[in-house]
C-alpha cells in the first residue's frame, strides 16, 4: 500500500491502515510470525515534498533472552518525517530543507510504501536483548530448567578454579 505525495491536495491527507507485516526477523535473527500493525497519521504538502506525522502500534511475539519463553512485546511509537524527492545535499544547507538527515525520507517517485515504513519503525523499536520481565530468573545453567516456573535444586556454587583464591575476599570472617 502506497501514499502518493503527488496527489495530495492542499488540505493534506489523513490515513489509518491495518497492515500485516511478513518476513520479519527478531533480534537474534529468528523468524517472526506475521505481525499485525496499525499505522495512522497525516501527510501534508510542504514545498516540493511533504511532512509526514504518524504513529505505529503493533504487538510482536519475541523470545526472552533469559528464559527462552515467547512473550508479546508492544511497540507504540510516533515519528515525523520530511518526505523529499531527492536527498538534500549536505554541502549546501538551505533554510527550507530539514537539517536533521535522520528525519528525511527520500521518495524519488513521490510514493511512500506504508509496509516498508512500518517495518522500519518496528525494527528501530525492538530491543537487542528482549527480556519478558525485569524479574526474569532465566534458565538453570546446570539442568536447563526455567527458574521462573520452579526451583530446580541444582548446586549453583561452582567456582572457576582460577578465581577460587578471590573467594576469601567475598566471605566475611565470623567472630
Q: Where are the domains of the chain?
A: 2-124, 139-175
Among the ranges given (18-22, 71-75, 163-167), the one the predictor scored with the smallest mean pLDDT = 163-167
Q: What percent of the chain has pLDDT over 90?
A: 47
Q: pLDDT tens for residues 76-98? A: 999 998 888 777 666 655 555 44
The pTM (predicted TM-score) of the whole model is 0.73
CB atoms near residue 63 (< 10 Å)? 17
pLDDT band at 20 (very low <50, low <70, confident <90, very high): very high
Q: pLDDT tens for residues 30-59? A: 899 999 999 999 999 887 788 999 999 999
Q: What is the pLDDT of residue 135?
A: 95
Which residues have C-beta within 8 Å of that of residue 55, sequence separation ≥ 6?
39, 40, 41, 76, 77, 78, 79
Give yes or no for a contact between 52 and 105, defined as CB atoms under 8 angstroms apart. Answer: yes
CA distances from residue 76 to 21, 35, 79, 99, 114 in whole angstroms, order as listed:
15, 14, 10, 26, 16
Amino acid at each position: 500500500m502506497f501514499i502518493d505525495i503527488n496527489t495530495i491536495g492542499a488540505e493534506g491527507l489523513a490515513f489509518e491502515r491495518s497492515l500485516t507485516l511478513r518476513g520479519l526477523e527478531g533480534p537474534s535473527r529468528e523468524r517472526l510470525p506475521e505481525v499485525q500493525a496499525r499505522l495512522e497519521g497525516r501527510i501534508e504538502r510542504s514545498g516540493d515534498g511533504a511532512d509526514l506525522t504518524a504513529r505505529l502500534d503493533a504487538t510482536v511475539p519475541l523470545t526472552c533472552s533469559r528464559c527462552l519463553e515467547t512473550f508479546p512485546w508492544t511497540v507504540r511509537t510516533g515519528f515525523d518525517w520530511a518526505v523529499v524527492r531527492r536527498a538534500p545535499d549536505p554541502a549546501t544547507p538551505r533554510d527550507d530543507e530539514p537539517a536533521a538527515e535522520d528525519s528525511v525520507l527520500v521518495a524519488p517517485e513521490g510514493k511512500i510504501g506504508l509496509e516498508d515504513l512500518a517495518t522500519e519503525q518496528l525494527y528501530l523499536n525492538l530491543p537487542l536483548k528482549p527480556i519478558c520481565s525485569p524479574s526474569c530468573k532465566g534458565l538453570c545453567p546446570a539442568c536447563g530448567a526455567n527458574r521462573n516456573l520452579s526451583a530446580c535444586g541444582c548446586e549453583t556454587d561452582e567456582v572457576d578454579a582460577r578465581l577460587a583464591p578471590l573467594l576469601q575476599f567475598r566471605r566475611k570472617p565470623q567472630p
